[in-house]
């Protein structure tokens, strides 16, 4: 019996965080997931990746040197409106998140420390909605 090959392309997720420990933890979590994941340490590297390839989702830390996560995601919304935008942080106040969410700059917010299951479920839910599948 032949194995049916999927014609659906793998989704690409860009993770932006200036803390190597966070990037390492996310790399361990996502290494067996069905995504192509790119890890970068700042907004400049994030823009390079966004300009170089098709990105489906960006997950960004809030507190980073230079451009913070909300500013980065707002810029991504302007330049790459189909890219899903998720903020991952331990330092954003409720009012800041509400403003970012209301403006449409952020589609989801995940708190540090995150629960692995919750992070994976939210990624899958958003990517399924983007692909036109019900979550």
What is the distance between the alpha carbons of residues 102 and 82, in angstroms, rounded to a whole number?
17
The b/e string for 74-83 (b: 16+ C-beta within 10 A; e otherwise) is bbbbeebeeb
Domain count, the chain: 1
What is the distance between the alpha carbons of residues 62 and 91, in angstroms, rounded to a whole number?
7
pLDDT in tens, 28-49: 999 999 999 999 999 999 999 9
pLDDT in tens, 92-128: 566 666 677 777 788 888 888 999 999 999 999 999 9
Residues 73 and 46: beta-carbon distance below 8 Å: no
Q: Is 34 a domain residue?
A: yes
Q: Is 114 a domain residue?
A: yes
Q: Is 43 a domain residue?
A: yes
Q: Is 2 a domain residue?
A: no
Q: Is 66 a domain residue?
A: yes
62: domain CATH number is: 3.40.50.2300
pTM: 0.88
Q: Domain span at residue 49?
A: 11-130
């Amino acid at each position: 019996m032949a194995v049916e090959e999927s014609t659906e392309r793998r989704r690409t997720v860009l993770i932006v965080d200036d803390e190597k420990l966070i990037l390492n933890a996310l790399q361990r979590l996502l290494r067996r997931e069905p995504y192509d994941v790119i890890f970068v340490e700042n907004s400049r590297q994030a823009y390079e990746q966004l300009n170089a390839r098709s990105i489906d989702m960006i997950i960004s830390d809030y507190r980073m040197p230079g451009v913070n996560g909300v500013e980065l995601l707002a810029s991504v919304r302007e330049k790459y409106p189909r890219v899903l935008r998720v903020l991952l942080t331990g330092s954003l106040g409720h009012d800041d998140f509400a403003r970012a969410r209301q403006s449409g700059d952020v589609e989801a917010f995940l708190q540090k420390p995150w629960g692995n299951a919750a992070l994976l479920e939210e990624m899958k839910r958003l990517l399924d909605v983007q692909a036109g599948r019900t979550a």
